[in-house]
Amino acid sequence: MNNVKVDALVIGGGIAGMQAALDLGDQGYQVALVEKEPSIGGKMITLSKVFPTLDCCSCITTPKMSAVAHHPNIQMFTYCEVESVDQQENGFDVSVLQKPRYVNADTCTGCRLCEYACPITVPSSFDRGLGSYRTARVPFSTAVPQIAVLDIENCILCGKCEKVCPVGAIDFTQQPETFSIDTTSIVLATGFELTDLDAKNEYGAGELPNVIDPLMMERFLAPTGPYGRVLRPGDGMEPMTIAYVQCAGSRDETLGIEYCSRTCCMYAIKQSMLISGALPLAEVTIYYMDIRTFGKGYEQFYQNAKAMGVEFVRGKVAKITEDENHNPVVRVERTEEGDVVERTFDLVVLSLGMVAGDPLSKFGLTPAEDGYIKIPSVNASPCETRRPGIFVTGTAGGPMDIVDSIVTASAAASAASAYIRSKTQVGIEEREVAHV
């Protein structure tokens, strides 16, 4: 693979990375976007709807995915991982590993015949392991690019995919390949991970089949979800009583995560409203320490949820066990009533917190105390890292919601643009022409 020379490299193809790439591309800069998964879209493409508008996530994300793929100034590199970032005189030399798809990306049409022919079924990471896909597959229906990938670690090399491929795109000879990207600036949009479902023994240590994480519930609520409806994963029952346990992975010294993840109150409220739509007879209870609805329209959203009948109970859940039918039993100290009660539910969602995504060492950056990228001047320059020319956006910099991720993406693109101009003078002529 040939080496690539660009003005800006965006690392991470989630909503923040896509927005930063589009903003820079629209300004005339040459942009490379590197994504570790076989498709761009990030976590947002897996979500059902956004708060507080309840707009469809796919309806927002897929046009941006398509815009990135078709933008004349953006080169997209999926299924690639950044290995190292070396400082050069006027920018960076970034080493990137292209993982083998075992499919020729230039000829694959995304017809999925390989997927239908493949005999092996494996848990789908897109569906948080609750759904499935085949060893040879297009990652999900709206994946960009629509190119199949073959998971060689779960392959018996039967060759059925190869036989049915109408364009001969299956290529078992592919090997990992390294190439370099020469760039003036870098925008880090490496996103977040949830805290582990099994982190707390008192919440079942991940062993209780009907205690799930919020991204699982997002998949249940999405039209493309694994069951096509909301069912509890333990036995396929429609849950009629559902509890949310807030601060299950944040504001918790025992986990070493003392910060508030900022999104959990709102996504729990959003999901409870969507559950009320999907399962009108279901009762939803949210156990919380504080409700933090700080954004535009968020407080009204919270009040709407209360008006719809969602029950909010102030108190800290101490323990979750299960009865003989795998129904979760929640033990909670209700602070307003001053008592301790146990209540049985059909399904419990742990409102897990956010932690930093990719390790920072390969970018030559050190984390702050919270594990996220250290931003030296967070109020004055919230997208600047300690390395000039490397900017941060979205949840790579700290917990934030989709609205803030998009805002910081545009901010990071703007900061990167100013930096590129200072180094290369690119874009000044166009700006002057525009003013004339």
Report the interface residues with another protein, using CB under 8 A.
1, 98, 100-101, 104-106, 116, 119-121, 123, 130-135, 152-157, 159, 162, 171-175, 177, 209, 226-229, 231, 233-238, 240
Q: Which is nearer to another protein, 257 or 282 (CB)?
A: 282
Taking residue 111's Cβ as centre, other Cβ atoms within 10 Å add up to: 16
Using an 8 Å Cβ cutoff, are 349 and 214 in contact? Answer: yes
CB of 64 to another protein, least distance (A): 26
CB of 202 to another protein, least distance (A): 22
Rank residues 64 and 137 by Cβ distance to another protein and give the closer one: 137
Contact 9, 185 (CB under 8 A): yes
DSSP 254: G
Residue 154 CB, shortest distance to another protein, in Å, is 5
Residue 62 CB, shortest distance to another protein, in Å, is 20
Q: Residue 193's Cα: distance from chain center in Å?
A: 7
Nearer to another protein, 95 or 304 (CB): 95
- Which residue's CB is nearer to another protein, number 67 or number 205? 205
* DSSP E strands, 138-291: 149-150, 177-188, 192-194, 211-212, 241-245, 283-288
Residue closer to another protein by CB (options 225, 389) is: 225
Which of 291, 286, 338 is CA-nearest to residue 313? Answer: 286
Contacts by residues 398-403 (CB-CB < 8 Å, ≥ 24 positions apart): 398/259, 398/370, 398/372, 399/192, 399/250, 399/259, 399/260, 399/261, 399/262, 399/263, 399/353, 399/354, 400/262, 400/263, 401/51, 401/262, 401/263, 401/266, 401/295, 402/15, 402/44, 402/50, 403/295, 403/296
Which is nearer to another protein, 99 or 421 (by Cβ)? 99
Compute the distance between CA of residue 259 and CA of residue 356 in angstroms, rounded to an integer.
12
Query: At its nearest, how many Å lie between another protein and the CB of residue 327?
Result: 12
- Please, what is the minimum distance in Å from the beta carbon of residue 144 to another protein? 18
- Closest to another protein by CB, 8 or 216: 216
CA distances to 370, 373, 402 from 263, in Å: 16, 19, 9
Q: How far is the CB of 113 from another protein (least distance, A)?
A: 13
Cα–Cα distance measured from residue 155 to residue 176, given in angstroms and rounded to the nearest whole number: 17
CB-based contact 396:370 (threshold 8 Å): no
Query: Closest CB to another protein among 7 and 346?
Result: 346
For residues 242 and 345, is the Cβ–Cβ distance under 8 A?
yes
- Residue 348 Cβ, how far from another protein at the closest point, in Å? 15
